[in-house]
Structure 1
Amino acid sequence: MPARRPTVRSTAVAAVAVLLALTGCTSSSDSAGPAASSGSPGSSGSGGRSRVTLPPVHAGFDYQLGGAYTPPKGVRIISRDRTSAPADGLYNICYVNAFQAQPEERKQWPADLLLRDADGDVVLDKDWNEPLLDIGTPARRERVAARVNRWIDGCADKGYDAVEPDNYDSYTRSGGRLSAADAKAFITLLSAHAHSRGLAIGQKNTVELADSRRKTGLDFAVVEECGAYEECDGYVDAFGRQVVVIEYTAKGLAKGCAEWGDRLSIVRRDVDVTPRGDDGYVRGTCRG
């Protein structure tokens, strides 16, 4: 499966919906050095607890969704697509497209799990030509989660430390057919399963739901362009220093580094996250 390119987000921030009354929370660490461990909820209905390892704070970070390559010197945290192997000796985050179907995988999804409009047409994220998955009822959430959880199992089996489920904000592209409550209910299912496999789970973007991170079981944040859009403080308020940031412009990197470079892990990548050595490859850090 070709790696999905990162989501370019709007600056609109929706009002936070009513929080789900679900139990379990995780703690974030402000300590530098090796990744801290956090008590996290076990699998749904098990009543047990497992421990997951959180990313090191303010550590070198690289975003390799477009293809794996040898990590640059100084990198301690890396994110790769679920089809790639983790990097030896680093903290590895596994990318899964959890709330939308990638175009080449559309036919692999049951037709009734693709969100439909009033005319019966599939609702698309038009920027990426990706169908939204229908997580609008408990039964459908369970069915979608069962498929995504198999990918999470694959991440765990490969030796990843964490997972980042993308498109948490897809409800904002649903034309009102999905809600923030639907998104939070679904991510809570994924969090429970990730924790049951010993994986930490990151919130991807969606600053408007960051305040819900404890009730949804999210451990850290993977954020695109919070420097450019001046949203980093919203994530820091929720996750402390447990935030890793990707910027796609020189201006965004400069702003992010000026305000947060002494506290957060920040990297600039090209929007296609191409592998090093390919045309278009861009990478920058707060250190130059």
Structure 2
Amino acid sequence: MMRNRVRSARRLTALAALAAAAVAVPLVTVDRAGAAPAGAPHAAPAAPAATVALPPAHAGFDYQIGGAYPPPAGVQVVSRDHDDPPAAGLYNICYVNAFQAQPGAESDWGSDLLLHDAGGKVVYDQDWGEALLDVSTAAKRTRIADKVDAWIDQCAAKGYQAIEPDNYDSYSRSKKLLTSGEAEAYISLLSAHAHAKGLAIAQKNTSELAGDRSATGLDFAVAEECGTYDECGDYTAAFGNHVIVIEYTAKGLTKACSGWGSRLSIVRRDVDVSPAGSSGYVRKTC
């Protein structure tokens, strides 16, 4: 499980739309039957197989979920917030906060879709001040997925090639009110919808569930600090070289590069994922 996660800030102004041109990327046929793992409480809707384009492995990558800016030279793959436009000519991954409400955005969700403890209080991710979404029942998962699917539709319309749904591991912060099986059942719904739109979908962190990627329909991994915590091998065991690594310290970058620099896409960013030109901006690669 990852110990450090970053989140996209809400955009204060909309950026002008850019056309995203296609890049040479591998294609993979994915099974969109949507079956949830054995024992999971709900399966995603059935659908025929489709072909989606994966991010090129071991490619120059930039993590821009804190604000879009012109990609540095050598970058082929970019991840940006769903409110931002994709980068022209690159492989673009669209970030959505799929398992938690953005800070202060609880009212964007039905009250019953926020997770409540036995005392009726909303359960929060204390590190980021985000209310957890309640994916404990099939009906709630469907309603939550409907809202996130609308963001996925926007990503597809803008020209993104993939989706990065964050906080897959929110069940681990739920005071044991949610289970990993419920998280897998919910993300299977998102996978089915992304594939229906021709988009690949990433597993974000949560290395302990990587082995279920076929059942949940996840195509590649975005792993924060897997070098720091010696978890990169957990992801490559499931996803091969289709793993994107973000580190936040010089030591973490050194470890990731020494072990995986010849195989994986690796970048170091500042923990706030600041846009280039900001005072805290950090970006380094192997």
What does residue 242 of structure 1 align with? 242
For residue 91 of structure 1, what is the amino acid of its counterpart? Y
Which stretches in structure 1 are left out of the alignment for 5+ residues?
1-5, 10-32
What does residue 26 of structure 2 align with? 36
What does residue 179 of structure 1 align with? 179
Deviations 1:91-141 (A, max 9, x none): 000000000000132111000000000000000001001000000011111
What does residue 98 of structure 2 align with? 98
CA RMSD of aligned residues (A): 1.4
Check whether the contact 2:168–2:183 (CA below 8 A) recurs between aligned residues: yes
For residue 62 of structure 1, what is the amino acid of its counterpart? D
Cα shift at 1:40: 1.8
C-alpha separation in 2, matches of 1:7 and 1:54: 26
What does residue 130 of structure 2 align with? 130
Cα shift at 1:219: 0.1
**SS of equivalent to 1:103:** coil
Cα shift at 1:39: 1.1
Give 1:130-169 correspondences, 5 Å limit: 130-169=130-169
Which stretches in structure 2 are left out of the alignment for 5+ residues?
6-22, 34-43
**SS of equivalent to 2:165:** strand
Cα shift at 1:45: 4.0
C-alpha separation in 2, matches of 1:49 and 1:262: 32
For residue 29 of structure 2, what is the amino acid of its counterpart? G
Deviations 1:71-95 (A, max 9, x none): 0000000000000000011000000
C-alpha separation in 2, matches of 1:34 and 1:146: 31
What does residue 110 of structure 1 align with? 110
Matched, 1:283 2:283: yes
For residue 273 of structure 1, what is the amino acid of its counterpart? V
C-alpha separation in 2, matches of 1:164 and 1:117: 28
C-alpha separation in 1, matches of 2:230 and 2:3: 17
**SS of equivalent to 1:96:** strand
Cα shift at 1:42: 4.1
C-alpha separation in 2, matches of 1:156 and 1:104: 26
TM (normalized to structure 1)? 0.87
Matched, 1:8 2:4: yes
TM (normalized to structure 2)? 0.88
C-alpha separation in 1, matches of 2:32 and 2:245: 28
**SS of equivalent to 1:172:** helix
**SS of equivalent to 1:262:** coil
Check whether the contact 1:60–1:77 (CA below 8 A) recurs between aligned residues: yes
What fraction of aligned residue pairs are identical, expressed as a percent? Answer: 60
Matched, 1:201 2:201: yes
C-alpha separation in 2, matches of 1:270 and 1:78: 16
1:238 and 1:183, CA in 2 relative to 1: closer, same or farther beyond 3 A? Answer: same
What does residue 26 of structure 1 align with? none
What does residue 48 of structure 1 align with? 48
1:213 and 1:134, CA in 2 relative to 1: closer, same or farther beyond 3 A? Answer: same
For residue 90 of structure 2, what is the amino acid of its counterpart? L
For residue 223 of structure 2, what is the amino acid of its counterpart? V
What does residue 222 of structure 1 align with? 222
